[in-house]
Structure formats: C-alpha cells, structure tokens
Structure 1
Amino acid sequence: MHHTGGPGWRITMDTCGPMLIALYIRDVAGLVGAGSPALSHVDPHVRAADHSRLTAQLGGTEALRDQWEVWWSRLVASYPRPEPALTPPEFPELAGLPALQRVVQAHFGAALTWSREQSKAYSLLSAERETLGGHKILADLVQNREMELGRSARDFTLSIVEMPLAEPRAWFIEPDRLIMSQHLIDDQQNFLSYVQPVVELLV
C-alpha cells in the first residue's frame, strides 16, 4: 500500500484480495460487462468455462450475473474495510446467492491461487514505484490544484484500488474511490486524464 498525504488529505493506492477473487470468478463464469461500473476483463486472461449445468436449477446465467453483481457491489462499498474472508467449503458469506455459491465452490482454489499471484506481482510493482518515486505525481496533482485555487486542500480521502485489468483506464466510484488498471500510472498522460478531474473535484 502507498500513502500520499498532507494536512487533512490522504490518497492511498493498493490492491484488494477479495476483489481479485471476485474478478476471477466473473471472468471464469463469462459474465462480460457485469457490475457497475463494468470493468474490463483481467490480464492475465482467465478463460471462461460453461456453468449452465452447474447453475441450471438455481436460475441459470441471469441469476448468476445478478448474484455476482450483489457481491461485487458489497465489496466495492465496503472498501477499504475488509469483507469477511470466504470460508470453504460452504461459503456461508454468500448465503442467499446460491448460483454464485455453487460457482465459487467450483473455482475457489484456482481463484485464490490466482489472486495471491496477482497480489505478489502488485507488491513488487509497488515497491519498484516507491524506489523510483513513481507516486510523486499524486502529491503534485494536489499541490498544483492548491496553487490554482489559492488555498489549502479541503479534508478528503481518495482510495485508489489497483487491479490487473486489460484496459488502461480508471473508473470513478463516488464519492471517493477509483478502481484503476495497475499499469495506468506508467502512462502519465492517460493517468492524468482519469485521475486529475477526480483530485480537482475533491481538493
């Protein structure tokens, strides 16, 4: 996790294990465009499997999509506070979401392994950025806006959740969260096009 801050304001950048697991489940279930906002598929690519037989008695793909979206909205709303960890084999945390529960049971081992690999890769990426001063751009954004306005920043917190997403962009979730491709910051111009308007809004 990286923190940038000043008097009354703070920006954090981190990844999120439960969200990684949820995105793996979304992609392995072939739920293209699910969720609000609809994030791009993950990279490295996760191959979709056919779950029609698994979920046929539980409402099929439509029910699975609806239930995944309920789960995803819970994860996004609770971030950065951690959701209760999923506990196999019954996954009581997904009670009331039977189609999703069934798919998670089928893929949890692979999802957990994949999410741990992505978290490890993110830690290395984050440490390298820290060494090279790659996060300085965030403090610069706030300071430039303060100079424009002629005053100090208002009190605010911005949580940036970095994910291994194929599309190099960010998705703003009001009032104070961004979900972002973890390589977006490497393309400074593209990064600024998504992050600068949010910082200006908050400052």
Structure 2
Amino acid sequence: MALLIITLWMVSIILLMRSGFSFLNPLLYVLILVQTHLYTGLFITAHDAMHGTIAPKNENLNFALGQVCTALYALFPLKNLHTKHHQHHNFVHTKNDPDYYEGNFFVWYFNFIKQYITWWQIVAMAIIYNVLKIWVPEKNLILFWVLPSLLSTLQLFYFGTYLPHKGEHQNKYQSKTQNKNHVWAFLSCYFFGYHYEHHHSPGTPWWQLWEIKEKNMTTNNG
C-alpha cells in the first residue's frame, strides 16, 4: 500500500509538471484536489511508518519508506515526527500534546504547523522550487506542487486533528469518531475521521481502520 501511494504521487506529479491547463478548464481544479489527496496519502503513509505498520517485520524498510514519504511531502525528518506523534498518543489533550491547542481553528492550525515546520525546511523547499523553475513552468509548480501540499496540511489538520480532538470527550483517548461512511472517510482523510478507532488500535494501518470502526459499532450495538 505504501509503494502504491508513493508511485501514484510520483506518476501524478511528473505528468502534471508538464501539463498545460486553462484556468477555465474544470479538470484543472479536479486535478489539484486529486494531487492534494495524494499528498495527504504520503503523510498518512509516513504516519503508518511511525507506528511500524508499513513493514512490521522489517524495521529498516519501514523507516526507509516512511522517510521517503516525509521527504517527498516537505522534507520532514521522520525521527522528529515520530517523537512528536508518540507524545500526542501518550499525552493526548494535555499541555504536553504537540497536536492539541486550546484556541479557535486558525490559532490551533497555526500552532499545529509551528510544531512541525522548521526554517531550514522552508529555505530548502525554496531552493528546490527555484531550481525546478529552470525546467518546469512556474504555474505548474504553484498549482500542482505548492498549492496541493498546503491544502493537504489543512486536510490533515481539519479531519485528522481538529474535528476529532476539539472539545471534551468521555473517553481516555479524548477523541471522537465520525459517523460511519467509508467512502467519505477515505476521501476526507484516509479513514482518519475514524479517529477514536486509531487511538484505540494505533497498530492498525490506515486502510484497515474501517474494519475497526465496524467492530466497534458491532460491539456497541451488541
């Protein structure tokens, strides 16, 4: 599954870098959304690596694939993300939780991003952008490389952090789950709207979270 996401992202980005589209063409906006979703897939795959679920029997391969995903996403060092993400799981909804902040959506989002983005990443991405401009039309870089990655951070934050963790919750994971709709759960954030299920079973890869949702619903209904 990790190789599929990486391959789809790479094929898509290569094709789109040389494509020509009019702003009047509705397909342009569909492709931006598709590319955004693939960017989100890269990060979700890296997230699976943080839980050791890409290659459970091969730690080196698991780390390597996770690092490839975070590098393609925005040059994130996987070790730093791993440390902060496990702080989130261990100290969820407390002052020691790097993903939680008591504030409105925009303030929370700013603090969320601030936890993970470093100045060296911004400088490095700017250098890569200016090098790529030599061969790739700048419009394509903005529409299919810069914009989708930024939209992806909003997608990840809104569906994977803000909605599940805002407010108070009567469970030890301090999180809620979205209503059952597997199609929307995949399209919105690779099943991470089923967020209680992720905290309940962090060793379950993203593409199996719907099964945990089904099991929990069966248990609760029973």
Work out which structure has the larger RCO, using CA pairs closer than 8 Å and 6 or more positions apart in sequence. Answer: 1
- Report which of the two has the higher share of strand: 1
Normalising by structure 2, report the TM-score: 0.29
